[in-house]
Amino acid sequence: MNEPFLKPRITGERFKDHALPVTLLSDFSALEELLVELAKQKYLEANPNRKRTPRGFSNEITLNLSSIEEGSVIPTFILASALSTAGLFEEVNPNIVHFESAKETFIEVLNDAENGEITLSKQFIPYFNRIGKSLKDGEAIEFNPTATKNKAILNKETRRSILLSINDEYSDNLETVLAVSAYDKVNQTCTMQNSHIKISGVSILEEHKLKVYQAFQEFEDGTHLKIKGVAKFNVSNEIKMIESIEHADLLDSGDIEVRLEHISSLESGWYYGEGESYKKVDLNNFLDKFSSFYNDELHSPAIYPTVEGGIQLEWTKNNFDVSLSIELASLKGEFHSLNFESDEEITNDLDLNKKEDWEFLNEFIKKNIV
């Protein structure tokens, strides 16, 4: 039973350092539950004279993480039997064949979903409320990565299509920036909004009460909350309800995440008929890099959209004017600084995918924008 059972490949910006976020383990825990239920079904199909699976069927075999390989991240899962681990028998558990069949069914279901066909029985679909829930835009799990085609890809799109096959709404993780425009002290609820949405009746937990109320009091000042939680979405991928808030942080109006939220709402033609719209995945990718590599002890830049669909960061202090114009898809940037006192001008091409280019930016800002 030490042979690999599953070796999925997980791709996306978060996994380029070949590390597996702990939140994703809950998705695989839910996958184990689904595989157990599918294996039970396979057993009953193979044994039509039985009404139930044998006692302990789901307890004897578990899905265990044995190793993590690079490329981007490849976790290796094996099937482990509690009895064989305890040394009570050495022969192969005869129920393994049903777990192998369950795995093949799961892979077929993902390939079918990618082609627009939902073939999973309705009673098993709710498991996808948890399987794939931790994936973000641009991330995917390939459950059959060595195949030339039909790699059994699970991403936000395939997960959404599976869940919407039995309902017109689905739950998903939410990470966004919202202002608090109304606060109901009696019912301990609030209204949250940004340029995309307005949601009323959001329940306020005690641990978030002070931050939510402060954001409400400073609504006119542009104070926002960065929240992480769970929301319910409709078939158009619009948020219909915020089910829960797990984390909340206060942001002022000039915070880069607030500015990026405003920029993400711009539609084509936003500047006198010109100006490109923005892909949220590109903005989030930049934000991840900025949060990881820009020294938060330095002056925060002002940030503006550009007509070409990029963004421009600007710092102005004393005799220096510094700008960084960024092409979002590639994260390549043109750095420019001007010293008004000496007329010295510096230009440089930066690649914000590279740590050393962020170090150059940090050092320059630290030295000159004081």
Q: Provide the pLDDT confidence category of residue 83 given band limits of 50, 70 and 90.
A: very low
Q: What is the pLDDT of residues 27-81, one digit of tens each?
A: 999 999 999 999 999 999 999 999 888 877 776 688 888 888 887 899 999 887 6
* Residue 93: band (very low, low, confident or very high) from pLDDT cuts 50, 70, 90: low
- What are 116-130's pLDDT values in tens digits? 999 999 999 999 999
**Inter-residue contact 177 to 247 (CB < 8 Å):** no
| Predicted local distance difference test score (pLDDT) of residue 92 | 55
| 361 has a pLDDT exceeding 90 | yes
- The predicted structure's pLDDT at residue 308: 93
User: Parallel, antiparallel, or unpaired for β 302-305 and 311-317?
Assistant: antiparallel
Q: What is the DSSP string of 85-143?
A: HTTS--SPPTTHHHHHHHHHHHHHHHHHHHTT---S-GGGGGGGGTTTTT--TT-EEES
pLDDT of 254-303, one tens digit each? 899 999 999 999 999 999 999 999 998 899 999 999 999 999 999 999 99
pLDDT exceeding 70 applies to what percent of the chain?
Answer: 95
Higher-confidence residue of 50 and 82: namely 50
Question: Where are the domains positioned within the chain?
Answer: 4-167, 171-253, 257-368
Distance in angstroms (rounded) separating the CA atoms of residues 178 and 198: 9
In the predicted model, is pLDDT for residue 85 greater than 70?
A: no
Share of the chain above pLDDT 90, in %: 77
Contact present, 26 and 130 (Cβ < 8 Å): yes
Q: Where are the beta strands (DSSP E) in 147-197?
A: 153-155, 169-184, 189-193
Burial bucket for residue 187 (CB in 10 Å: 0-12, 13-18, 19+): exposed
d(CA 45, CA 51): 10
Distance CA 290, CA 313 (A): 11
The predicted pLDDT at position 82 comes to 52
Count of other CB atoms within 10 angstroms of residue 285: 20
171-253: which CATH number, 2.60.120, 1.10.150, 2.40.50, 2.40.30? Answer: 2.40.50
Q: What is the mean pLDDT of the chain?
A: 91
Confidence of residue 137 (pLDDT cuts 50, 70, 90): confident
Residue 89 confidence (pLDDT): 40
What pLDDT does residue 63 have?
86
What pLDDT score does 76 carry?
Answer: 92
Q: In this predicted model, which residue has the larger pLDDT, 20 or 163?
A: 163
| Tens digits of residue pLDDT in 186-230 | 999 999 999 889 999 999 999 999 999 999 999 999 999 999 999
Residue 13 confidence (pLDDT): 80
Average pLDDT over residues 356-367: 96
Sorted by sequence, the CB contacts under 8 Å of residue 128 that are 6+ apart come out as 159, 162, 163
pLDDT at position 16 is 81
* Whether residue 329 has pLDDT greater than 50: yes
Backbone angles phi, psi at 169, to 5 degrees: -140, 155
Angle (CA) 153-157-160 rounded to 5° is 115
Say if residues 143 and 154 touch (Cβ distance below 8 Å): yes
pLDDT of 87 > 60? The answer is no
Q: What is the pLDDT of residue 88?
A: 39
What value does the mean pLDDT take over residues 168-175? Answer: 92
Helix (H, G, I), strand (E, B) or coil at 246: strand
